[in-house]
Chains A and B, each alone.
Chain A
C-alpha cells in the first residue's frame, strides 16, 4: 500500500513562509483573490501491510516519534491507490 502523510503547522502558529508565499501570489503574480496561504510538507511511502488498522497504528507511531512535531504541527494521512 502507498501512504501519504501531510504535515502542516497548527492553525494557531504563525506560518511565516505561507505569508511570504501569499505576498508573492497576491502582489507579484497579481491574484488578490488569494488569501490565507499556508504551506506544509508531505511524506509518502510504500508499506508492506494491507490491514488499515495496522497502517494507522504505524502512521501514528512514526508521526509521533519523528515526522511531526506535535507542539506546532498537525498531520493527516491518506492511503493512495
Chain B
C-alpha cells in the first residue's frame, strides 16, 4: 500500500495522518505542496487537516490552486483514492473534486469535541469495513464545517448514495442537536461520483487509539488499506 500525505503551508494534521497510515502498514510519502509530479502507482492520497494558508480568503481556497493539486486531480481522475480530512475536505470542494462548500459554523464557534456519525454508505473503498448505518464516535475540530450545496446537487448526492456520513445522536438518529455546525441534512462527509474521493470534516486519524477517546476511525483505515 503506497500512500502520500500532502503538506501545505499551515497544514498541521499531516503527521497524525502519516502515523495512522503507517499503523496500518502503508508506505507513506510526505509531499510538499509545490510538487508537480506524484507517483502514478499511489493507492491513496491524503489531504490533511489544519489551517492551510491560515484559512486566508476562504478555508482551502489558496491550497486548492497549489501546484500539487493538479497532480491530485489527475490521479483522482484515474481512480486513485483521495481522502480529504477537515481542511482537506475544504480543499477538495474548492478544487472541484467534491461538490458543495464548507461555510462558517452556524453558531459561529470553533467546535472541538467528539461527535457521533452514521456511516450511510458502506459500498466504498473507505467504508466497507463498517456496518450499514453503524454509529461511530469521531472527533471534530473546526470553525468552518457547515456543509452546503444547491438543492439539485443535494438531490443528486442523495439519489446516487454519495453522502458518506451524517451527524447523529448516540442512538443513530438525525437530530438538530447532533449537528454541530449547521450542515445541510447533517452531512459530515461526501463522495465524488465514482466514490474514489471522500471528504469528511471529522478526524478519523484521531480515532485509532483508545487513549484519544475512540477507536472508531480504525474501520476507515482497515477498509482502505487491508
Taking the complex as formed, is B148 at the interface, i.e. its CB lies under 8 A from any CB of chain A?
yes
Contact call B58/A69, Cβ cutoff below 8 A: yes
Residues in B whose Cβ lies below 8 Å from that of A69: 58, 61, 94, 101
User: Complex Cα distance A13/B57, Å?
Assistant: 18
- Chain A's nearest CB lies how many Å from the CB of B177? 18
Q: Which of A14, A66, A72 contacts B57 (CB 8 A)?
A: A66
Q: Tell me, yes or no, whether A16 is within 8 Å of chain B by CB.
A: yes
Q: Which residue of A lies closest to B64 (CB)?
A: A66
Interfacial chain B residues near A66, Cβ < 8 Å: 57, 61-62, 65
Whether A34 sits at the interface, judged by CB under 8 Å, is no
The reply to whether the CB of B150 lies closer than 8 angstroms to some CB of chain A is: yes
Verify B57–A67 contact, CB threshold 8 A: yes
Counting contact residues on chain A (CB < 8 A from B), the size range is 10 to 19
Contacts of A17 in B (CB 8 A): 104, 108
Once the chains bind, are B148 and A71 in contact (CB under 8 Å)?
yes
Q: Does A81 contact B (CB under 8 A)?
A: no
Instruction: Give A54-69 as 1s and 0s: 1 = Cβ < 8 Å from B's Cβ atoms.
Output: 0000000000011101
28 contacts between A and B (CB under 8 A): A13-B103, A13-B148, A14-B106, A16-B104, A16-B106, A16-B107, A16-B108, A17-B104, A17-B108, A20-B108, A65-B65, A66-B57, A66-B61, A66-B62, A66-B65, A67-B57, A69-B58, A69-B61, A69-B94, A69-B101, A71-B100, A71-B101, A71-B148, A71-B149, A71-B150, A72-B101, A72-B103, A72-B148
Counting from the closest, the 10 A-B pairs by CB-CB distance are A71-B101, A16-B108, A72-B101, A69-B101, A69-B58, A16-B104, A66-B65, A20-B108, A66-B61, A16-B106
